[in-house]
Amino acid sequence: MKRTSFFYFASFVTSLLSNSVTAIALPLLVLFTTGSPLDAGIVAIAASVPAAIAGLLMGSLIDRINRRTASIIADAISALALLILPIVDLTVGLNVGWFIAVAVLGSFGDVPGMTAREAMLPALARAVGAEPSRLIGLREALTGVTVLIGPAVAGVLVAALEPVTVLWITSGLAALAALLTLGIASSATAHQRDHDTATTVQGMSSVFDGLKILLRSPLLRGMLILAITLGVVLAAIQGMVIPVHFAFQDEPQCVGFVLSSLAAGLLVGGGLFAGLASRIPRRVWFISGITILAVGLGGLAFLGPVWTIFASAAVAGLGGGAMNAVVGLTFVENVEESQRGRVLGAQNAILTLTPALGIGGGAVLIETGSLHLATTVFVAVWVVVSLGSLFNPRIRRLGEPDRDLVDA
């Protein structure tokens, strides 16, 4: 693999690992500091809304500057935000206000950083002479690996160190991601830029251009609906159903293994797409992905013996890895280079809100009904939405240019 590709994927994995470990260490730090699960929930909500706003605002900026530069700035913001908490803990002491303030600041690094890395991939693929489908497949596979090892790394660190001390490490990882991005040649991420900043009205309009493009295209709109639905369903199952189930079974240690099984499936699904995308029609990948995913989610819904839950999670990950790769490639092929930052920024902004919807919805269903009611409802929602996507005429022609965008 060429040097540029190495630094791209190394910075991607390092940044994702930082986020993965932080996602476990930060809620624990809030709980240890305040002793209130409600405070942990408040901090999570306080982070999600600004993150969505940051995705919209920064998407337009990412289209106006080199995406390598945008990625470095975003990682630097994340590193600074994570560094504040340990310093405050050593000086004036932590409280909920500090957690909320840092969550808001960090949101201006996490989502824009992810958007910048996604947006630079097509230009990088051209620079290294690789097919975008191959790089996207590799990225999905590496996502699976990172999600697989992230909770384990977090568990070891939290067991050996206090959660606030772990944040020194995650801050260092975010800073390392910025340094690794410097290894990517600036010319490899150069793109046609949008310099239309003549008026404030035009500038504000560009903030919402990504949303307009998403909603105008039946293909992108359909893919976005699928991504939102999957985000809600997986958040509910991972963040609420599975933990509650194993808590009732007095086997909380199994939660991490379920997430690892899901990540292993993502790794295999993304890896298969990276190696075989050019040999198998796009629509076959898409239909297979959503079907396998439905089978895996259906298996999880039964909440049977532990081994069936592990196997179902792996199957769901396999389908999700293939489907996510198709969705990612669809955005690469059907969004103009100069608009990719704002479109992906809008998409990521919306997806940032989905975990709260899934976990909140799951909590309501479990509280008013049962675990099986919650799993049945969420699996049914996925089946209905995925079946609906198969009747979308534009999705039937996956791999062809989106005329709704070409003609616009």
Work out the number of other CB atoms within 10 angstroms of the CB of residue 171: 22
pLDDT (tens digit, 9 = 90+) per residue, 182-212? Answer: 888 877 776 655 544 443 344 444 556 777 8
Helices (H), 65-162: 67-90, 96-128, 132-160
Is the whole model's pTM more than 0.95, yes or no?
A: no
3-state secondary structure of 390: helix
User: What is the three-class DSSP state of 5?
Assistant: helix
pLDDT tens for each residue of 2-50: 778 888 888 988 998 888 788 777 777 776 787 765 676 677 666 777 7
Q: Which residues of the chain have pLDDT under 70?
A: 1, 31, 36-38, 40-41, 44-46, 56, 59-60, 147-148, 151-152, 155, 190-208, 252-253, 256, 396-408
* Domains observed in the chain: 1-135+146-206 (1.20.1250.20), 208-408 (1.20.1250.20)
Cα angle 80, 180, 122; round to 5:
110
Q: Is the separation of the CB atoms in 116 and 71 below 8 Å? A: yes
Rounded Cα gap, residues 348 and 334, in angstroms: 17
